[in-house]
């Protein structure tokens, strides 16, 4: 799969050099986000991959499940833990279309996910550097590598369009 030059230059401008397969996994996360939008949820998607293979994929389900904790990241973490047979998720990468919130960042730390890649920053509730940085808190026993900006425009546009339609 090829991606527009704007995606590559956007990634390079923020210092993030994606690994092979990163864009493909984020495209899967965007697909899960679009599915969430179809049932009225905020379009956020997450994928957890290990060695280039997606173990789990989820979109937000807060509205459809009537569950405030049904964030894409938490659902994907549960599915990946089930797939791996344990609560630790070694050698995995979490791809998520929006910077994780405090709840999701806490779950990422607890699951020992070693790498997090997110698309759009969340200046209102981001807990991976925007508002707070739970994922790099030296008081915690695990700090994953965090990379941001992968397909940021696509991730951000999906959210902006969703909220514009709700307001309009």
Residues belonging to the active site: 73
The C-alpha atoms of residue 60 and residue 38 are separated, in whole angstroms, by 11
Here the tokens at position 140 are 């915690």
The C-alpha atoms of residue 165 and residue 155 are separated, in whole angstroms, by 16
Contact assessment for residue 44 and residue 87, using Cβ atoms and an 8 Å cutoff: no
């Amino acid at each position: 799969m090829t991606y527009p030059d704007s995606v590559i230059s956007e990634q390079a401008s923020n210092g993030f050099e994606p690994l092979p397969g990163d864009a493909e996994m984020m495209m899967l996360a965007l697909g899960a986000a679009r599915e969430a939008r179809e049932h009225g949820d905020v379009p956020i998607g997450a994928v957890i991959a290990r060695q280039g293979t997606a173990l789990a994929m989820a979109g937000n389900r807060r509205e459809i499940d009537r569950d405030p904790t049904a964030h894409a990241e938490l659902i994907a973490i549960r599915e990946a833990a089930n797939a791996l047979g344990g609560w630790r998720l070694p050698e995995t990468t979490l791809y998520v279309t929006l910077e994780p919130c405090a709840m999701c960042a806490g779950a990422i730390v607890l699951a020992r996910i070693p790498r997090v890649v997110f698309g759009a920053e969340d200046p209102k509730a981001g807990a991976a550097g925007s508002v707070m940085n739970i994922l790099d808190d030296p008081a915690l026993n695990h700090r994953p590598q965090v990379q941001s900006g992968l397909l940021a425009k696509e991730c951000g546009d999906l959210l902006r369009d969703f909220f514009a339609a709700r307001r309009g």
